[in-house]
Structure 1
Amino acid sequence: MNWALLLAGSALTLGLAGPAQAQETETAKEERASGLDDIIVTARRREESLRDVPISVSAFSAEALEEKGTPDITGLQRSTPNLTIQVARGTNSTLTAFIRGIGQQDPLWGFEPGVGLYVDDVYIARPQGAVLDIFDIERIEVLRGPQGTLYGRNTIGGAVKYVTKKLGNEFTGKVRAEYGTYNELNLVGSVAIPLTDWLSVGGAVAWYNRDGYGENLHSGAETNNKDVLAARLSLEMTPVDNIFIRLAGDRTEDKSNINHGHRETFEPNSKQAVLPGKYDTMAGLGDDQKVVTQGVSLLGEWNVSDTLTLKSITAWRDGYTRGPGIDFDGTPQPFLDVAASGNVYKDHQFSQELQAQIETDRLQGIVGLYYMDATASGAFDTILGRGLIPEAALVPVVSAYTALTQLTTGSVDTRSFAIFGDFNYDITDRLKVSVGARWTRDKKTGEVFKANYFGTLGSPLLKPYVPVLPPPYNVPQILTDYSNDRTFEEFTPRVSLSFEASEQVNLYAAYARGFKSGGFDMRGDASATPATKDGYDSEIVDSYEIGLKGAFLDNSLRLNAALFYADYQGQQVTTQVAKVTPPPGVVSFVDNAGSSRIWGVEVEANAMMSRNLSANITLGYVNARFNEFLVYDMVSGTMVDVADSRVFQNTPEFTLSASVNAHGEVAGGWLTVQPAISFRSETHLFEIPIPAIDQGAYALVDLSVTWTTPDEKWRFGVFGRNLLDDRYRTGGYNFPLNAYAQSVIGFYGAPRTVRASVEYRF
């Protein structure tokens, strides 16, 4: 097959389309009312019961997520232990994800996530545009702990799997309309059409629109609004009984305004007070933004025999972000602005995976090859609008308001190749052993350019370029200009032992290694830290886990529990500090901080208390401590151990959730009422404790009510989230020096929202 023609012939990416969730039959209602259903997952790349998987996995069906009114994958944080998954600071659709203390907060091009995101087993390499809205899915799985064997690089914290449903050969569809607070209006429609008994097509369109939670009081624009349009298509073929082919794709456009955040401190230069509204700003950089992600995927499965299945997964994806940047100081003046225009962030990736799946009475497993070619690039100006120019470098300053711009631009190309295998063998009917391994080779090529432009607002590369001082004072001072490449290789094994204590109870012990390759700091200042040209090294995590999964009390109680310990080496930590000595600017470091140890507990319990009442409870505990944390001291020029003063970011010690599901027949239809509460203990936003922006403990209360008509074609729902209207930070920036306008910025999660929904299924 001509792959080039296939890829060029589609404007969409990644097969997300599927039919509407199958209508719930009377038999399904009875099963749900009489006991807890078995959960089928593909955590080990094959279908099996969740109870049999020696991995900590949380699984959420489409039906469960729809009944809760979960808007996107960040809602998983409310009911998954030891998970942080939320919108990245200063964005609307970029993802920040941490599992068990391991992840990556910085979404800059070139940095790799520590939690892998997969859509139908296609790896999403970049976090931009990765806050996936939840519609037309079969389920979502959250795999906790390193998944380096089957899922490869950059899954050292875990993986999130977005699983869609096959179209099938029946005509189905649905349309849904929602309206809520802040003039929220969502329209979603999907359809699956069988053209023949072996060929089906399907598609879905979703439009999400909402007014902002706050306002830019300087420009009058909305902040924290939503304007997203997504389209998905798929084509499925079964030309013969043992061959399945799916060509699928999607395109998403996010035109929501940039989120500049909220100033947390008084601004001494312009005498701007702290705004009372946590979603309000006075930013002067601009508001319009556009984020686009698109591509295509092709899946082919051939069931050669009852014991052998061959699979090919081919995918291409690209995206870009265009917008004003981030106004770090939150004022109309450019005291500290990160400005950009045009296509300032671009990425594309191509991946090919080949698998051979084997299944016999006692042996099940998979072997495969994986290849990925990905490139990401970008550019931005850091504008410092007040006099930071050293007097020795200029004639007497012509104005008390002197500007400096620091241009940062570059790209990173990644070529990754891997060989992997994972097998499970039944030693006896009750005792099973699972062994896997993966060899990965990443070659990265980085190009970085950084320069100071004195007396300018903006650089010549980006627009606008406004010289404040005449030549020769705006001649650039080059800080970084290099191209380099490095290769990272790692062997990541996995082994587990499972014992069925009874037909309904499984005990397991497991070891796994995770690997995140090194790279190059796109912000690196070679004049301050010459070693930035050499890049930074890989991260390695060795994880040990024991657990229990079982059903008790005649299948009315399901309990999953795990105790884990992780040895974390070479953690990549990004630090940005304000530099006031020549040359001025913001200096970035990416350090392999040293070593740490993480241990904790996870418990998930589901109980059917009566025919019409069930409850879900989760508990997560993480104890994470640095053994060594090395940072570069610019004064002494040496590495210094500061482990005693560092903490883990985005890792609350405790996460808890509880919900009740009350359901039964009302007016001939099916009524479901679900109150829920989720709790997170104190959370540090950076490795250095910062009281001004660190988030204290908080709890969120939600309530959902749905009613399905007797013919099961109509569903009505009302969903309330954060009903107590708590204000809680999900991110922040900290540049507290007076020369940087004491820029301390906080980004907040959604306030109280209520929306009503009506859905028709056919």
Structure 2
Amino acid sequence: MTRSTPRWHLRPLVLAVALGSNIAYSQTEKLSEEQVEPKQATRALEEVIVSAQKVEQSSQDVPISLTAVSGDMMRDLGGAGLQDIAPYIPNVRFSSDTDPALAQINIRGFGSNPLNAAFESSVGFVQDEVFFARPSYYNEAIFDVARVEVLRGPQGTLFGKNTVAGVFNVTTQSPTEEFSGFVQATQSDPDEIRLEGAVGGAITDWMAVRFSAMDIDKEGQLYNQFLDRYDDKHEQDAQRLKIDLTPTENISVELLGVVGETSANYWGLQLQNLDDGTRAFLQNYDPNIEDDPYNHRTSYDQPGFITKDSQTLSAKMDWYIGKVGAVDELTSTIVVADTELNLDSLVDLDTSPADLGRLTVASQYEQQSFEWRFSGSSEGLFGLGERLDFVAGAFLFQSNFAQQTQIIAGDDLGAYLTTDDVLQLASGNSSLNTGGLLGALNLAGLPIATLTSAVIGDDRYVLDYLLDVEAGALFGQFSWYLDEHWVITPGLRYSKEKKNGVASGQASCAQAALSLPCIMGTALSAENYNEPNLERTETDLSPKLSVQYYINNDTNLFVTYSRGFKSGGFNASSFGGEDLNFEPENATTIEGGLKGEFFNNTLRLNAVAYRTYFDDLQVLAFNGAFFDVTNAASAISDGVELDFTWLTPLPILQVSGSVGLLDARYEDYPDAPAPIAQGNTAKQDLSNRRISLAPKQTASLTPNLQFPLFGLAASTSVDFLYQGDQYTDGDLDPATFLPGYTTISARFSLASLEQGWVISVGGSNLTDEKISGQTIDTVFFPGSYNSRQKSQRKVFASLMYNW
């Protein structure tokens, strides 16, 4: 049995791509002029080509659970980012659809909270074959996308490092032989303008270029009634240049450069569940203070901001060597990359109209990576089997990260010391109060705030964190085709990683010269420390084994065992220098499934059942102001993932959908942090309790109609998207529980077959569901919370031209 691996080629966008899981670029048929005629040609789903195993092959031949999403679909949604396509992918969750820096992604219940800079993401991010180790890259250059592949489960054999939960593998469009491009303008309400475009083609017979760009200007939805501004206002622009060179018929080189800049108001939180004492205190600063987390209104005094810029240069060279001994089609691939990302931010630490504390973070990140691999095939192994395809290589990585965090006392901190909240934090009893006795000292008009601010002066606690990483790996994988039915795919990766760090915390204030304690350091229970020589070296061996049985050329069953490793590190937010080290985590998954195409290739159905076991799971614990990195003992995730695409007997109707079932829970976690209302140091036993940010069900259903209309090609789609109930904070505080919800999106487009014009209108969350993406503890107000609300209803109109 022969399974071809055809090369991917770009199809112009004519119609909206149907949505759903495994909704790749090839799943919506282009309506040709012949198809507009009453007599329809035989329909069939096109092959979906992916690079999930470092070689181009059909997604149906990859023995893991994956979803492929096309760039056409993302543009059809009005210029979407990765967070916008997550609802269509089973068991994948983004905590925020508005944060430009702190992308938290969970796959099968596992991910990494980016609030602590030491925490590397458990979900790897790869773009154009370059692995990026910081979560801020998820929002950097998502434009002119060809496809996004979401690989669920440990991907420790072939991809970068720290991919224990999965990988987002993004491929952007490459230059075409013919001059081509597109331009798209999208206007949305709430007010947002997105411009995206690309142009390029062959300049000579050995050189082709493509230039693409994006510009976003978003007014925002979260209104700050105190500062009279929108606190999620967002501006972003980015440009990419790709150059393809073919100096010989056997060598091809791709040169790539990307730059991006982001400027936004920050950081988009709303108060929730204020008690009477806290409300009375805050009303001195804003009489209209409120704690509704679902009204897109907030009230805090610091004009928070974030600025971010990045630059990436990479080069990829493919050398087709050909036949060497018993090896056929031997190809050498080298990928080298250099990138840097700078970030500067200010946030209102108390998220209130009182000036209690400010948080500034400035960081610089640089990364260099090098990968050299070989791929090819031979006639079996030791003379056995029909064919053997292999990929093997080496990966080198180094990075430098420097961050300074300052927690600065506000002018109203002295007045805050007269509140019951201070007693509650000190005692760990959130119900403790003085009956208003302390609060009476802070009545409007009394000069207590002025007097105390003069005494406090410039008072801050400063955290400095430096981290140098050197990592290397050897990897290999081969697929052994025993006969027309059986394929065995073993793989192995040996990794070694060395980290050197510096961590320090220092209180700074005027009264320190008099040997008096600093206010902010005291409030945080922080001590001065300096650890200049942190060091750890770790090695790992991650195996993989897949067995596939092809019932026929279109349908196969598979079982895959895989293991992943995520390195340990040093706590970037310690307030005393204790417990700076945290240990590596390991993930082991076994999954079995079916991938098939039925009814003359009009129905594609993929189904997977899995179990993942995590050992020494890395988690964050809220310490009153920041999040410390610790290790839970162990965790288990069981689940099912199913997706389908169906070209129905009705010629104009296609239906896509997905279902994810998830049971993610701690197996053993006896010393887990308790809700902060029980005290900063309170513990609880979360053994056999569910993990946060792990909805028990996710589902999508998208019927798509394509039909001729007045000589044009029309398309309309409706998306029904469901996400089940979940906790949104790691301590499983009942106040952070989010019930399940359903949102509805829809689009309608008209396309000119001759000229490539596409006019679209649509919207997301059309029923305007009020949804909290995440609820976490506040810093200063025990028993109260900060909530990050997901976007409200959005409608858009888009004009696109392809040539």
TM over 0.5: yes
How many corresponding residue pairs?
711
Per-residue deviation at 1:644?
A: 3.7
Alignment of 1:129-140 (within 5 A): 129-132=137-140, 134-140=142-148
**What corresponds to 1:510 in structure 2?**
560
Whether 2:113 is the aligned partner of 1:105: answer yes
Cα offset for 1:657? Answer: 0.8
Find the aligned partners of 2:617 and 2:34 in 1 and give their Cα distance.
48
Structure 2 counterpart of 1:660, from 703, 707, 712: 703
Partner Cα separation in structure 2 for residue 214 and residue 118 of structure 1 = 31
- Measured in 1, the distance between the counterparts of 2:651 and 2:787 equals 46
Match 1:60 to one of 69, 89, 111: 69
In structure 2, runs of 5+ residues without a counterpart are: 1-7, 15-29, 323-327, 380-386, 427-447
Instruction: State the shift of 1:624 in Å.
Output: 1.5
In structure 2, the residue matched to 1:560 is: 606
Of the three residues 576, 591, 606, the one matched with 2:622 is: 576
Query: Which amino acid in 2 is paired with 1:369?
Result: A
CA contact (8 A) 1:669 1:707 kept: yes
- C-alpha distance in structure 2 between counterparts of 1:398 and 1:211, whole Å: 35
TM-score (norm 1): 0.88
- Is it true that 1:279 corresponds to 2:296 in the alignment? yes
- List alignment gaps of at least 5 residues for structure 1: 1-17, 457-466, 579-585
Cα distance change on mapping 1:709 and 1:329 into 2, 3 Å: same
Q: Does 1:288 align with 2:305?
A: yes
From the superposition, tell whether residues 587 and 66 of structure 1 become closer, same or farther in structure 2 (CA, over 3 Å).
closer
Correspondence 1:730 to 2:801? no
Q: Which moved more, 1:236-245 or 1:61-70?
A: 61-70
After TM superposition, where is structure 1 displaced by more than 4 Å over at least 4 residues in a row?
18-21, 23-33, 388-391, 396-404, 467-472, 474-478, 632-641
Question: Does the 8 A contact of 2:113 with 2:119 survive in 1?
Answer: no
Task: Give the one of 628, 645, 661 matched to 1:589.
Answer: 628
Q: Structure 2 CA distance, aligned partners of 1:129 and 1:468? A: 41
1:47-101 CA-to-partner distances (Å, cap 9, x unmatched) read 1111111011101122333334351111221110000135388x32432111111
Q: Which residue of the partner structure matches residue 197 of structure 2?
A: 189
SS in 2 for 1:611: coil
2:362 is aligned with 1:372: no
Partner secondary structure for residue 773 of structure 2: strand
Match of residue 529 from structure 2: 480
2:787 alignment partner in structure 1: 746
Alignment partners' CA distance in 2, 1:213 and 1:478: 40
Partners of 1:87 and 1:284 in 2: CA distance: 23
Task: Write the letter of the residue equivalent to 2:646.
Answer: A
Per-residue deviation, 1:712: 4.1
Alignment counterpart, residue 46 of structure 1, candidates 46, 51, 55:
55
Deviation at 1:468, TM superposition (A): 8.4
Q: 1:265 aligns with which of 267, 273, 276?
A: 273
Q: 1:288 deviation in Å?
A: 3.1
Which moved further from structure 2: 191-200 or 428-437?
Answer: 191-200
**SS in structure 1 of the partner of residue 736 of structure 2:** coil
Q: Cα gap change, 1:508/1:28 in structure 2, threshold over 3 Å: closer, same or farther?
A: farther
Aligned to 2:579: 531
Secondary structure of the equivalent of 1:64? Answer: helix
2:745 alignment counterpart: 702
Q: Would you say 1:76 and 2:85 are equivalent positions?
A: yes
Deviation at 1:121, TM superposition (A): 1.4
SS at match of 2:60: helix
Which of 5, 22, 44 in structure 1 is aligned with 2:12? 22
Counterpart residue type for residue 216 of structure 1: N
Partners in 2 of 1:666 and 1:487 — Cα distance?
64
Aligned CA distance change for structure 1 residues 411 and 279 (closer, same or farther; 3 Å):
farther
1:528-677 residue pairs with structure 2 within 5 A? 530-532=578-580, 535-578=581-624, 586=625, 588-609=627-648, 610-631=650-671, 642-644=685-687, 646-677=689-720
Other-structure match for 2:317: 300
C-alpha separation in 2, matches of 1:687 and 1:237? 49
Cα offset, 1:625, TM superposition: 1.9
Q: Shift in Å at residue 114 of structure 1?
A: 0.5
Match of 1:318 among 330, 340, 343: 340
The secondary structure found in structure 2 opposite 1:66 is helix
Q: Kindly indicate whether the alpha-carbon contact (under 8 Å) linking 2:116 and 2:626 is maintained by their aligned counterparts in 1.
A: no
- Structure-2 separation of matches of 1:88 and 1:380: 25
Give 3-state SS (helix, strand or coil) of 2:727's partner. Answer: coil
Alignment root-mean-square deviation, CA: 2.9
Render the CA deviation track for 1:534-560: whole Å, top value 9, x for unaligned: x11110011000000001122121110
The CA distance in 1 between the partners of 2:680 and 2:297, in whole Å, is 41
Post-superposition offset of 1:472: 4.4
Checking the alignment, whether the CA contact within 8 Å between 1:19 and 1:172 is kept in structure 2 is no
SS of residue paired to 1:289: strand
Measured in 1, the distance between the counterparts of 2:96 and 2:318 equals: 35
In the alignment, residue 635 of structure 2 is paired with which amino acid? S
1:9 paired residue number: none
Structure-2 change in CA distance of 1:163 and 1:759 (3 Å): same
Equivalent position amino acid for 2:483 in 1? T
One-letter amino acid matched to 2:86? Q
Distance 1:637 1:715 in 2: 56
* 8 Å Cα contact 2:273-2:291 kept in structure 1: no
CA distance in 2, matches of 1:285, 1:468: 25
Separation of aligned partners in 2, 1:221 and 1:469? 38
State the match for 1:360 in structure 2.
378
Aligned to 2:498: 443
- Match in the other structure for 1:330: 351
Q: Which residue of 2 aligns with 1:208?
A: 216
1:598 deviates by 1.3
Q: 3-state SS of the aligned residue for 1:651? A: coil
TM-score (norm 2): 0.83
| Inter-partner Cα distance in structure 1 for 2:449 and 2:236 | 46
Q: Which amino acid aligns with 1:750?
A: S
Is the 8 Å Cα contact of residues 505 and 549 (structure 1) preserved in structure 2? yes
**Cα offset for 1:438?**
0.1
| Alpha-carbon distance in structure 1 between the residues aligned to 2:449 and 2:514 | 13
Confirm or deny that 1:414 pairs with 2:469.
yes
CA drift of 1:301 comes to: 0.4
Spell out, residue by residue over 1:223-275, the C-alpha distance to the aligned partner (whole angstroms, 9 max, x if none).
22221111111111011111110111111111121123111132332236325
SS in 2 for 1:322: strand
1:36 Cα shift? Answer: 1.7
Within a 5 Å distance, the mapping from 1:131-210 to structure 2 comes to: 131-132=139-140, 134-210=142-218
Q: Structure 1's 337 and 587: CA in aligned 2 closer, same or farther, altered over 3 A?
A: same
Q: Deviation per CA, 1:181-240, whole angstroms, max 9, x where unpaired?
A: 122212222111321011012111211112110222222222222211111111110111
Percent of aligned positions with the same letter in both sequences?
A: 23
Offset, 1:153: 2.1
Contact 2:468 2:501 in 1 (8 A): yes
Q: Name the aligned partner's letter for residue 617 of structure 2.
A: Q
Which residue pairs with 2:238 in the alignment?
230
CA separation of 1:551 and 1:193: change in aligned 2, threshold 3 A: closer
Measure, in 1, the Cα distance between the counterparts of 2:673 and 2:719.
47
Matched, 1:350 2:340: no
